[in-house]
Amino acid sequence: MLRDMKTARKYLIIGISFVVLGIAGSGFYLVSKIGLPVLKTSLIGFYIGAPANIVRVELKMALAYRNFGEALEILERQRIIAEAMGFTNQMKFELIENTYLVVERALATGEQAIFSDWVDYLYELSPDIHIGVSLVSIVNYSNDFEKTKKFAEQALEALPTDELPYRAMLLADDRSGTRGNKAELCKRYRNAQLTAIDPVYYPNASFQGQGLRTLIMALEDEESIVFYAVSQGLKLGEFVNATFEFDRAKNYHQLRLIMPTVPGLKFTLDHIIIQGSRGRLVLSGKQLEVTPTYGYVLSRDEFLITSRFGEALLIRSNTHEFPETSQVMLRYKLERLPITNFGGCQQY
């Protein structure tokens, strides 16, 4: 009886989905005849995003009860709807992204194994989408070391700083009994130099044109007027001097450092130098009040970065007022924290 009810609900949702999409399609046809480009663009966006949006509420309900078998059925319904609508590249990406949202909540090996065949299908569907490749390596670490290694290496070729393939290979190496590759994997992980986790979140048209290796310094006054400057060459694992040049001297009361970073980083603020009309003001990290937007404070001058979407540090002085300036120099260090305490990994 319960199974019949679930089957009926599944087909009811699919039926309702096509009714909604039919209405949207009719609206798109009418708007194209009338000639309203803004509304036309909105309807196109609704149409393309419909398969993912239709099932998202259902997915949340299934995940609330950790029912991953049902979550897989819901993803299958998203596939059916998307195929009926032409399966655009955006629809494929959203199917993979919804799968990622489910799999990252599957903490037990048995929960992850449910998705083994599904992630293989997603990879064949769109082998160039990075998170899809990562998913194959994550799901298969418990039963297929060679497969995990193959797809993890493919994912790391595109994004060397993504920690998920490293985690999968470390766990697979442990389960395979070889236990011989951990030190090398840890070294690669700690030394990888690219920053932001996924180009989807840092396209060329991102905030102030910020790229993967670009820091932005903002000077903010009390009326929320903001002045920006950039510094290229973000690096991991060593102290770096970053210089930010502004067009003219500015009045401001706080700094905001914006970084396109991966999670699991320790940021050390050694000092800042503010070049003002009356000379230089040097403030050590311990003389500054720093508040992370998403991360945490480890000590007076050390901060933990946890977000996949970058970090912004709000910086104020607890000893001096900031002078007018046209240049700010920041000395900092970014270090990747270990993802395992396996022997041989702590030294890197």
Domain range for 76: 1-108
What does the alpha-carbon distance between residue 304 and residue 296 come to, in Å, rounded to a whole number? 5
Q: Is residue 51 part of a domain?
A: yes
Would you say residue 140 lies in a domain? no
pLDDT confidence of residue 65:
92
Q: What is the pLDDT of residue 261?
A: 80
Residue 162 belongs to some domain of the structure: no
Q: Is residue 344 in some structural domain? A: no
Query: Residue 94 domain-assigned?
Result: yes
What's the whole-model pTM score?
A: 0.75
Same domain? For 93 and 212 the reply is: no
Tell me, yes or no, whether 72 lies in a domain. yes
Residue 273's pLDDT is 95
Q: Is 139 within a domain?
A: no
- Output the pLDDT for position 217: 92
Residue 177 is predicted with a pLDDT of 67
Domain boundary among 79, 108, 137: 108
| Domain end among 82, 108, 134 | 108
Q: How many independent structural domains does the chain possess? A: 2
| Beta carbons within 10 angstroms of residue 27's beta carbon | 16
pLDDT mean for each 10 residues of the chain (348 residues): 51 51 47 47 51 80 92 91 82 87 86 90 85 83 80 84 86 72 84 61 47 81 79 85 87 88 90 88 93 96 89 89 90 91 71
Position 163 in a domain: no
Among the candidates 74, 108, 142, a domain finishes at: 108
Looking at residue 197, its pLDDT comes to 52
